[in-house]
Amino acid sequence: MRASHVTRSSAKRLRIVTWRRYAAPVLIVFNPAAGAGRQRRLSRALGALRARGLAPQVAETRGPGDAAVLARSAAARGVPLVVAAGGDGTIAEVAAGLAGSAAALGVLPLGTANVLAWELGLPQAPDRAAAVIAAGRIATLRPGLARFADGSERLFVQMLGAGFDAAVVARLDLGLKRRIGRAAYVLESLRQMARYDFPPIAVTFDGVTTTAASAIVTKGRLYAGRYRIAPDARAAEPGFRLVLFRRSGALQAALAGAALPLGLIPRLPGVEIMPARRIRLAAAGAVPVQADGDPAGLLPVEVTDAPSPLGIVVP
Ligand SMILES: Nc1ncnc2c1ncn2[C@@H]1O[C@H](COP(=O)(O)OP(=O)(O)OP(=O)(O)O)[C@@H](O)[C@H]1O
Find the 2 Cα to ligand 1 centroid distance in Å.
Answer: 30
pLDDT of amino acid 197: 95
Ligand 1 mutation target, pool 28, 30, 31, most atoms within 8 A of CB: 31
> Which protein residue's CA is at the shortest distance from atom 24 of ligand 1?
87
| C-alpha to C-alpha distance for 272 and 215, rounded to whole angstroms | 10
**pLDDT bracket for residue 15 (50, 70, 90):** very low
Q: Which atom of ligand 1 is nearest to the CA of 32?
A: 1
The CATH class for the domain spanning 144-307 reads mainly beta
| C-alpha to C-alpha distance for 31 and 86, rounded to whole angstroms | 5
> Which protein residue's CA is at the shortest distance from atom 13 of ligand 1?
89
Q: Produce one character per residue of 46-68: b if its CB has 16 or more CB atoms within 10 Å, e if not.
A: bebbeeeebebeebebeeeebbb
The DSSP result for 240-264, as a single string, is EEEEEE---SHHHHHHHHHHGGGT-
Ligand 1 mutation target, pool 30, 61, 66, 90, most atoms within 8 A of CB: 90
Residues with CB under 6 A from ligand 1: 31-35, 61-64, 66, 86-90, 93, 111-114, 292-294
Q: Which atom of ligand 1 is nearest to the CA of 35?
A: 22
Residues 223, 216 contacting (CB under 8 angstroms): yes
Find the 34 Cα to ligand 1 centroid distance in Å.
Answer: 5
Q: How many residues does the chain have?
A: 315
pLDDT at 2 over 60: no
Query: Region 94-105: what's the mean pLDDT?
Result: 97
Q: Which atom of ligand 1 is nearest to the CA of 86?
A: 18
Residues 40/106/181/198 CA torsion (nearest 10 deg):
160
Per-residue pLDDT of 154-202, as tens digits, reads 999 999 999 999 999 999 999 998 889 889 999 999 999 999 999 999 9
Find the 257 Cα to ligand 1 centroid distance in Å.
Answer: 23
> Across the strands, what pairs with 304?
145
What CATH number has the domain spanning 5-142? 3.40.50.10330
In single-letter form, the type of residue at position 206 comes to D
Q: Which atom of ligand 1 is nearest to the CA of 294?
A: 29
> Which protein residue's CA is at the shortest distance from atom 17 of ligand 1?
89
Cα 220-222-225 angle, rounded to 5 deg: 135
- Give the H/E segment covering residue 70: helix 66-76
Per-residue pLDDT of 131-156, as tens digits, reads 999 999 999 999 999 999 999 999 99
Domain ranges, ordered by start, for the chain: 5-142, 144-307
- Give the H/E segment covering residue 13: none
Q: What is the Cα 214 distance to its own chain's centre?
A: 19
Per-residue pLDDT of 43-79, as tens digits, reads 999 999 999 989 999 999 999 999 999 999 999 999 9
Q: Which atom of ligand 1 is nearest to the CA of 65?
A: 31
Say if the ipTM goes beyond 0.95. yes
Q: What is the largest CA-CA distance in the chain?
A: 61
| C-alpha to C-alpha distance for 252 and 220, rounded to whole angstroms | 23
Task: Look at phi and psi of residue 144 and say left if phi exceeds 0, alpha if psi is from -120 to 50, else beta.
Answer: beta
What residues contact residue 239 under an 8 Å CB cut-off, 6+ apart? 275, 276, 277, 305
Find the 294 Cα to ligand 1 centroid distance in Å.
Answer: 8
Find the 256 Cα to ligand 1 centroid distance in Å.
Answer: 25
Find the 269 Cα to ligand 1 centroid distance in Å.
Answer: 34
- Give the H/E segment covering residue 90: helix 88-98
Q: Which atom of ligand 1 is nearest to the CA of 90?
A: 18
